[in-house]
Each structure stands twice: as C-alpha cells, then as structure tokens.
Amino acid sequence: MNNTLEGTTQPPAGLDDHTIAGSGTPKAHRTGMGDWIEERTGAATAWREVRAWPMPKYAATNVLYALGGLTLASLLFQMLSGCLLAFYYDPSAADAYNSVDYIMYQVPLGWLIRGVHHYNAGAVVLLVFAHTLRTFFYSTYKRPREITWLSGVFLLLVALGFGFTGYLLPWDQKGYWATVVSTQIADKVPLVGESISHLMKGGPALGQLTLTRFYVVHVAVLPVTIILLILVHLLQVRRHGIAPSVTKRGRAAGNRTVPWYPSWLGMVALLALGLLAILVFLSWRTHAPLEYPADPSSTDYNPRPEWYFLFLFQLLSYAPGAWEPYLIVLVPGIVIGSMILLPFIDKGEERRPWRKPITTTIAVFYVAVIVIFTAIAW
C-alpha cells in the first residue's frame, strides 16, 4: 500500500509521536534531559504549584513566623553532620572514645563537623522551645490546629531525647557518669523505676549493651520518629494554614496573602546561614568537649548534664530524699501533661494572651522556673 496520503509521507513503522519525524531521533535527545525528566515526573510543574502556595503577608515578613522553618533547617544540619560522624564512629565500648578522638584530630575538618553537631544539638532544643512558645502566645493551638500543636510538643520531647542519648556516645567521663546519674534517677521512679533503669542499661551496670541501645535509639529510632512528626506537622500546617494574627483589639489581621517563595523561604534561608555561621564560629572558638575516656572506677567524678537538663538537675537537688522519687515523675508529668491537654482545655475564642490570665500565668511560671533554675545551676 502507498505510504503517502495527499502528498504527506507517513512515519515509518516503529516510529511514534515520541520520535522526531524524518530523523529517527527521540524527542528527549532534541529537547534535553530536563524535558525528559519533566515529561515523566512532572517535577517542574509540581514545584511551580508548590512555590505559589499562599501565606499571610504578615507571616512572610515576621521573624517569629520563621522559627518553624529555622528549626527544620537546624534539624537538617544535625542529620547531615550526624551522617558524616557515623562514617568514622565505632559504637563499641572498647573503641568509641578512640573513634571520636580520631574524628577530632585526624579526620580533615572532623573537629568542625563534630563541633557543629555538638552545638547545634542545643540550638535544636532552643529553637523548638521558642517555636512552641510562639505558638502558645499566639494561641495557634486552638481548633482546628490541635494536632499541629501536639506534633510540636512531641517534637520538643524527641529533640530532648536526641540530646540525652547522644551524651553517652563519646564514651568519655562526662557522658559516662552523667548517664550513670540518669539511670540512678530513673531507678527511683515509683513502681516501674527498676525496669526502666534496666531497659536503659541493658544489664546491672553501664557497658556495651548500654552504648548499643543508646546508639540505636539515637541514629535509628529517634530520626524515624522525628521525620514522621515533621511530616504530620507540615501536613497539618498545609491543611489548616497559618492561624490569623490577632491585633490588640482582638480582631483578625488583614487577609492579604503572598507566595511563600521567595519572601518567607528567603528569610528562613538567611536565618539558617546566620545560624550555620554561629555554629562554625563556636566550633572554631571552642572545640566540642571530649574529656578523658570513661573510667567506671573513678567514683569521685562530679557529672553535669547539658544546659537544657540543668533546671531539672537543680530542682532535684533541693528535694528531700523521700520526695525525690515523686518529683522525678510529677514535675515532667505536670509540664508535659498540661501541654498535651492545653488545646482541649482552652477552647475559648479569645486568643490574646493578656485576656487569658490563667493559662498565660501558668506558662510564664513554667518558663520562669526553667530559666531561673538553669541560671542557678549554670
């Protein structure tokens, strides 16, 4: 049969509309790899849609609304530096200290990587805490954003868990004896204390099993948990949006919106670069501490926790012996429990903190206690 129809040549067999007519060359070769990827994934189209997501103009230019994004950037710094450290770290009681020492003094820029990881651990806790405070005082935990608030509370707990489990990993005197004290405190919890302490240690005393458990929790359990919590948090923010700002008269602020990119993202990027510069400076100015190797026989060592646990450390030092087991449970339990129950108790429409004297006073009291006891113990 003739392959022409009204003078137009039909494409030869085996070529379709994805092939350049007359050349046998696939379109991807003509249009480039970018178009080839876009045709199959739609990534560029998806990004154009994502970067056009609207957000209130007041939030796009307010640094307080950038705390969440800065926290996410800080977590990314932590994960990246942690992955680099894991290339050289040996999670064994015999060689953990030597591997950290090797990172500090033999690996090129190892002191910088470990320093960023060390100082950024405190930055993550501080940023999550500040973001939680901003959420509270703006009353953005109210309906329908209860799950957003709860995921943020659990993010704070996981951030503290990272600091606690990472403390032991260098297997130096400070980390070892601080963990000994922590397990002794856990052992005093009524009814379940002995089981908790044994679960933490993996045996009657700190050893290889303790280090293995802390390492697995630090590099596997907590990272998976925090990724899931971040996804829940971001999906909730995307679903319900940013809560409208409230003026002094209690009226909602203007509803004018702008794309979150580049205004808000640019602000977060600048803040993240500033944070990274501070971390690099601190790492250069004062290297991350590494004391002598852990010595279980050195019972005269006086350990101190990281600064974000100092308030509890100081508070327990004032407790009479008979009250200490109960304070160990009551103090964290009351604080965490009230944070979890907050959106289900404070259901009113009022969002101005000065018009909610009870909840605001309680929150200010919590913060004041943490700051004062931390300063005393410093």
What's residue 199's pLDDT?
A: 93
CATH number (domain holding residue 69):
1.20.810.10
Mean pLDDT of 239-251: 70
Q: Which residue has the higher pLDDT, 237 or 318?
A: 237
Are residue 161 and residue 224 in the same domain, yes or no?
yes
Sign of CA dihedral 200, 204, 207, 208: negative
Looking at the structure, do residues 278 and 240 belong to the same domain, yes or no?
yes
Quick check: 172 and 104 in contact, CB under 8 A?
A: no
Structure tokens at 261: 């990119």
Q: Looking at 305, 329, 348, which one is the last position of a domain?
A: 305
| pLDDT given for residue 250 in this prediction | 47
Q: Are residues 20 and 155 in the same domain?
A: no
How many domains does the chain contain in total? Answer: 2
In this structure, what DSSP letter does residue 218 have?
Answer: I
Rg of the chain taking only CA atoms, in angstroms: 27
Asked if residue 61 is part of any domain, the answer here is: yes
- For the stretch 5-31, pLDDT in tens is 444 445 455 444 444 444 444 444 456
Instruction: Name the residue range of residue 22's domain.
Output: 16-51
Same domain, yes or no: 38 and 184: no
Q: What are 83-124's pLDDT values in tens digits?
A: 999 999 999 999 999 999 999 999 999 999 999 999 999 999
Asked if 21 and 144 sit in the same domain, the reply is no
Whether residue 42 is found in the same domain as residue 109: no
pLDDT > 90 in the chain, percent: 57
* pLDDT higher than threshold 60 for residue 251: no
Which has the closest alpha carbon to 81: 208, 211, 223? 223
Report percent pLDDT > 70 for the chain.
Answer: 89
Is the backbone peptide bond immediately before 144 cis, with ω within 30 degrees of 0? yes
Measured distance CA(361)–CA(365) in Å, rounded: 6
